[in-house]
Each structure stands twice: as C-alpha cells, then as structure tokens.
Amino acid sequence: MMRKVLVTGGAGFLGSHLCDRLLADGHDVLCVDNFFTGSKRNVAHLLNHPYFELLRYDVTFPLYVEVERIFNLACPASPVHYQHDPVQTTKTSVHGAINMLGLAKRVKARILQASTSEVYGDPEVHPQREEYWGRVNPIGFRSCYDEGKRCAETLFFDYRRQHDLDIKVVRIFNTYGPRMHPNDGRVVSNFIVQALKGEDITIYGDGSQTRSFCYVDDLIEAFVRMMESPKGFTGPVNIGNPGEFTMLALAEKVIALVGGKSKLVFRPLPADDPRQRQPDIALAQEKLGWQPKVALEDGLKETIAYFRRTLEA
C-alpha cells in the first residue's frame, strides 16, 4: 500500500537512506531538512523521482502537511555538530518532538521517534537493555543531546497516554556507512578519513573503551519493521549490532583495510564519554524478527569506498 510518509532530517546520513528505502517500497515521501548537518547531495539522485518531495524546513516550527506516517529523525547526532549550538540542539529534540507529535495527533498518523543509545549515558549495566534508565549527566557538554532525546521520549509516551497516539520509539546505537559526514567527529568517519589522508589516527583515552557498530542498511530495515509492527508495540527498542569492539581494534581494522602507514596517537578522553556501549537486541529479535546481517569488515569496505570517492571529488 502506498502511504504518504514524512521524514524529518531526511537529507541526513540516516534520513537519506530511509528515503531511498521508502521510495523503493512504493511510498510517497516528503523529505524535510534544514540542512544544518544534512546535505542536498545525499538526496540529489531522488529529486526527479515522481514520488519524492524535498522541503527546507526547521522542525522547531509547526508543520502543516497531510501524511500517514512520520519518521522523526531531525537532530544533529554527532558531538561536533550538536555541541556547536547546544541550545538549538535541545530545541530541535524537544520542540521538534512537540511539533511532530502535534502533527501526528491532528492527522492521526503513526509516528516513529529516532532516539539514541545516549539515553543510557555512561552505563553501569552492560549490555544495555531497554528497561535500564541510564546514567546521564544532566548539565554536561553532551547533555543537550542526551537529555533532549530523553525528553523527546517522555513526550512521546505522554502523548500516547494522554491522546492515545500511535507511537514507535527506537534507540539507535552507533551506525555507520556511506553518506556519513566526513567531519562529524564520529569514530568511524574520523578513522577512515585520517587513514585515507595518510594522517595519524587519533585515539581518545587509552583506546580500551568499546562501541558496537551497525551498518546503515541493517538499521533502515529495523526502522521499516518497527514502523509497521502492531500498534500495541511501542518500544522503546534497541537497534544496533551487538558485536563489541575496542577503539584500538577498530583503528587497526581500518588501517589494514585502507593500507598506508598511519600511526596511532593518543589524546585525553572527552568529558562524559561512555566507557562501553553494547545493545541487548533480544526485544528487536523477538518483536521485529530483526537482527543485523552486515559484518563490520564488509560494512567498513563500503564506507571506505564512499569516503575515497568523496575525498577524490
């Protein structure tokens, strides 16, 4: 069934891949983005598609459109970008959620919130399960993003309780792939760009901190399954790859795949940077029949090829 679907943050890394998938599935897609971190290049190949529309817009203002599904992805997601204007980051998460929930209520649309594993903060529970409430610094440099996303989740569940709104909430763990911003400060893009340029690779702390990396295609599949899951299943549900790697292991893998003679250099660990991050995806496996399929090495090869083309261009 063709549906009218709104994707906020649709010209971003994840949003553009989601637009690709929704159009491939036969939907009519309205992509909304203010292009703070998103890029027209990410959706340029879609501009002539008969069922794709691009709108420059900021979700901190109310939006009046007629849609049946809303994917709310709008928000800078890397520390470099969300710390650039922390007040605006919080407004995007909170006001953006209020505006999209209001729209969903008015048009009776189902709405999915792209939340984040950052709601768990620097966790004391490992791996992280959905019932864990987290350990977040409410006044730190990362709080604009962490607490903004936590407040957005609160709003979603209050709209469900108060207005019986049809909501879905996913918590995204580290995701990588083509169309990542080369200067977003995330570990995968940092390592790949530094290696391709023949620069030293920067490790923060001693490199023993861990992350779990999910390839973008796997994540988008989970988005689609979550949106079409039964109404009674709201989440939140963890979406990520439970494979856990240290920063040192990731750096060594990138160097091996790129080649060259990059060396590792160590810098102080940023404030409130989580020591470990790994999703428990049992709920996604049970309710969505989903689990990631792309191995880290295979995903890195695709991502390296994309950054190689981007740097050459």
pLDDT higher than threshold 80 for residue 86: yes
pLDDT higher than threshold 80 for residue 274: no
pLDDT higher than threshold 90 for residue 82: no
pLDDT at 76: 85
Mean pLDDT of 12-24: 98
pLDDT higher than threshold 70 for residue 150: yes
Mean pLDDT of 53-82: 93
DSSP assignment of 219-239 equals HHHHHHHHHTS-TT----EEE
- All residues at 6 or more sequence positions from 13 whose CB lies less than 8 Å from its CB, including other chains: 42, 77, 175, 177, 179, 180, 181, 216
pLDDT at 226: 98
For residue 167, count CB atoms less than 10 angstroms from its CB and return exposed for 0-12, middle for 13-18, buried for 19 or more: buried
Mean pLDDT of 226-239: 97
Mean pLDDT of 78-90: 86
| Residue predicted with more confidence, 78 or 221 | 221
For 229, phi and psi rounded to 5 degrees?
A: -70, 160
At residue 270 the predicted structure's pLDDT band, cuts being 50, 70 and 90, is confident
Give percent of the chain above pLDDT 90.
85
Sequence-ordered alpha helix ranges (H) in 179-295: 187-196, 216-227, 247-258, 282-288
Question: What tokens does 263 get?
Answer: 């060396």
Give the start-to-end residue ranges of the domains of the chain. Answer: 4-176+215-241+276-293
Q: Residue type for 86, please? A: P
pLDDT at 186: 86
Q: How many helices (H) and strands (E) does the chain have?
A: 9, 13
The H-or-E segment that residue 169 falls in is strand 167-172
The answer to whether 145 is a known catalytic residue is yes
pLDDT higher than threshold 90 for residue 288: yes
pLDDT in tens, 177-227: 999 988 887 899 999 999 999 999 999 889 999 999 999 999 999 999 999
Give percent of the chain above pLDDT 70.
100
pLDDT higher than threshold 70 for residue 5: yes
Other Cβ atoms within 10 Å of 190 Cβ, number = 21
pLDDT at 118: 93
At residue 269 the predicted structure's pLDDT band, cuts being 50, 70 and 90, is confident
Superfamily (CATH) of domain 4-176+215-241+276-293: NAD(P)-binding Rossmann-like Domain (3.40.50.720)
Q: Residue type for 103, please? A: L
pLDDT higher than threshold 80 for residue 79: no
pLDDT at 272: 65
Q: Catalytic residue among 82, 120, 145, 159, which?
A: 145
For 28, phi and psi rounded to 5 degrees?
A: -100, 115
At residue 84 the predicted structure's pLDDT band, cuts being 50, 70 and 90, is confident
pLDDT in tens, 289-308: 999 999 999 999 999 999 99
pLDDT higher than threshold 90 for residue 13: yes
User: What's the mean per-residue pLDDT of the chain?
Assistant: 94
